[in-house]
Amino acid sequence: MRGVLRTAVPALTVVFALSACGGGAGTDDVLSSGGWPGRHSDARNSNTATAESVDDLAPGWTRPLGGPVGSPAGIAANGQVSVAAATEAGCNLFSFQMDTGRKRWCTRLAPAVTTITPVSDGVANIYVGEDGGLLSFNEHGQRRWRIPVSGSPRSAQFTSDGSLLVVTHFGQVNVVDPQTGQLEAPLFDLVPVPTLEDGQNLPRLASDHGLPACFGGSEDCPVATTPAVDTATDRVFVTVWRPGSDRSALVALRYTAGDDAVVIEEWSVPDLPGGAVTSPVLSADGSTVYVHDGEGALWALDAETGEARWTHETGRPTALGPAVTEDGLLLLASADGSAPLTALRDGGDSVEVEWERADVTPYGAPAVTADGRAYVVVDGDRGLAAAVLDLADGATMEEEPLDPATGLPVGTGVGPGGEFVITTLDGDVVVLREPQSV
């Protein structure tokens, strides 16, 4: 396998140092503000939180949304929970208060919003997409701006200079000012757009074309995952299924800010078995990027060159990337409970199994807290349960039933106070937290 060096032009998504919003300019660091601001928490897609766990998880509140949920919730630093659901009528984008579960506001957008995690900035403005558009709302639900895009945006991210970067499922990259929605850099297409040489009067694809394919990835959905960003270098990692290919490639881009803002493509790895099928995840120092291939192996690649460092066979394909801690522990689970919970230790040029819980059936991505705990949805005595595990040895510290929530989890997250936030496929938002005094 090799890293293929290329050049290109402007740019793609993600970083989690962020822009202050409302009035005034400047940049706030979302990573230091708490919450779970994006689909996988941070710029690295690490599924780790800045908050510590709570001592005793207890039921907080459960809210049914009235329709299936296709993407995890985003949690702002003030605890505001934003999530979308495929409802038949009324609102399909919701915002709830963390402490009470009270609905703060809701609105209705085009259907593609239900596949997107709303991303929060440091002052609880959110950025979310719909069919053919990218929008921002303030914490009260007032629309700040909307811009047209080609395709349907995936979950947004931020660059180190505070610009908002959004890639659509068609592969169009938008770099915009989060205050105004105005473009900060020329549009960049990860997938070449038709030219006059390709013929005239070519039909324009509908903005929702191929969206169902994003759940498995195909040429109809070139960008199906959430990119990762190294905030120190503004190197961006994304999976792209290019025309004529039989699999998706892992691609590295480099964003350069300034008057002549641009993104260049640095390398591409097109030959992972079955393609690169999960969102890329970065190590804490940005030197390694992790991605699963389509045949069940986890790959560790050099972030600068794309060269393989090691592979680990998991025995089955997965749609979930690992949670990756600051000290190099990788926590692997499955979306459907088909694999045991496994912790790996990255040794640089090799990998070792730190521990494995064959007796635990995990569902969905683990959410890791700052004090070395993992929040995981597992099979319990009475159905699904929320479990807290010690990352040192995988021991279960406590377990709490999820009644009355139904459905498998599509997302987990950690609130700024250590709350465990779960969204389910059937359309429930569940919050567990420390017991509240009466």
The model's pLDDT over 291-349, given as tens digits with 9 standing for 90+, comes to 999 999 999 999 999 999 999 999 888 989 999 999 999 999 988 888 889 999 999 99
Average pLDDT over residues 48-52: 95
Q: Are 127 and 82 in contact (CB under 8 A)?
A: no
Backbone angles phi, psi at 23, to 5 degrees: -115, 150
**Pick from 10-24, 27-41, 381-395: least confident:** 10-24
Instruction: Check residue 345 and give its pLDDT.
Output: 97
163-190 per-position pLDDT tens digit: 888 999 999 988 889 999 999 889 999 9
Categorize the per-residue pLDDT at 27 as very low, low, confident or very high, splitting at 50, 70 and 90.
very low
Structure pTM? Answer: 0.90
Say whether pLDDT at 7 is over 70: no
pLDDT tier for residue 9 given thresholds of 50, 70 and 90: very low
Nearest to 131 by CA among 149, 106, 108, 146: 149
What whole-number percentage of the chain has pLDDT above 90?
71
> Is pLDDT larger for residue 28 or for residue 363?
363
Instruction: Give mean pLDDT, residues 21-27.
Output: 38
Long-range contacts from 316-320, C-beta under 8 angstroms, 24+ separation: 317/274, 317/277, 317/292, 318/277, 318/278, 318/292, 319/277, 319/278, 320/278, 320/292, 320/364, 320/365
Structural Rg of the chain based on CA atoms = 20
- DSSP letter, residue 218: B
Task: For residue 50, report the phi and psi dihedrals to the nearest 5 degrees.
Answer: -90, -10
Could you report the per-residue pLDDT of 228-271, keeping only the tens digit for each? 988 888 899 999 999 999 999 999 999 899 989 998 899 999 99
Domains of the chain with bracketed CATH: 4-191+210-433 (2.130.10.10)
pLDDT of residue 21: 38
Q: For residue 382, what pLDDT is reported?
A: 79
Of 329, 252, 238, 319, give the one whose Cα is nearest residue 283: 329
- The residues pairing with 240 across neighbouring beta strands, listed in sequence order, are 249
Token reading at 267:
């390398």
CA-based angle 367:379:224, to the nearest 5? 50
408 and 392 Cβ atoms separated by less than 8 Å:
no
- pLDDT score, position 407: 85
Q: What is the DSSP string of 248-259?
A: -EEEEEEEE-ST
Rounded average pLDDT over 56-67: 95
Q: Would you state the torsion angle of the CA atoms of residues 55, 61, 66, 68, taken in this order, to the nearest 10 degrees? A: 0
Question: Which residues 6+ apart lie within 8 Å of 243 measured at CB?
Answer: 191, 192, 219
Mean pLDDT taken over the chain:
88
Q: pLDDT tens for residues 80-106?
A: 999 999 999 999 999 999 999 999 999
User: Over pLDDT 70: what percentage of the chain?
Assistant: 89
Bridge partners of residue 388, in order along the sequence: 375, 398
State the first-to-last Cα distance of the chain, in angstroms, to the nearest integer.
60
Collapsing DSSP to helix, strand or coil, 31 comes out as helix
Report residue 50 as tokens: 């800045």
Look at residue 57 in the predicted model and tell me its pLDDT. Answer: 93
CA distance 41 to 19: 16
Tokens, residue 366: 């683990």
Quote the CA–CA distance of 172 and 10 in Å, as a whole number.
10
Count CA atoms within 13 Å of residue 304 on its CB side: 4
C-alpha separations of 6 from 130, 233, 282, 423 in Å: 31, 18, 21, 39
Q: Which residues contact 110 (CB under 8 A, 6 or more apart)?
A: 130, 131, 132, 133, 207, 208
- Partnered with residue 389 across adjacent β-strands are 374, 396
Task: Kindly tell me if the per-residue pLDDT of 361 is higher than 60.
Answer: yes
The token pair that represents 298 in the structure block = 């986890």
Please give the average per-residue pLDDT across 283-289, as a whole number: 96
Flag whether pLDDT at 5 surpasses 60.
no
pLDDT tens per residue across span 103-152: 999 999 999 999 999 999 989 999 999 999 999 999 999 999 999 999 99
212 pLDDT above the threshold of 60: yes
DSSP category for residue 287: S
- CB contact burial 69-81 (16+ within 10 A = b; e otherwise): bbbbbbbbbbbbb
Is 24's pLDDT higher than 90?
no
Q: How far is CA 338 from CA 334, 343, 358, 362, 363, in A?
A: 6, 16, 11, 8, 8
- The amino acid sitting at 336 is D
Phi (first) and psi of residue 299, to 5 degrees: -110, 140
What is d(CA 229, CA 102) in angstroms, rounded to the nearest whole number?
Answer: 34
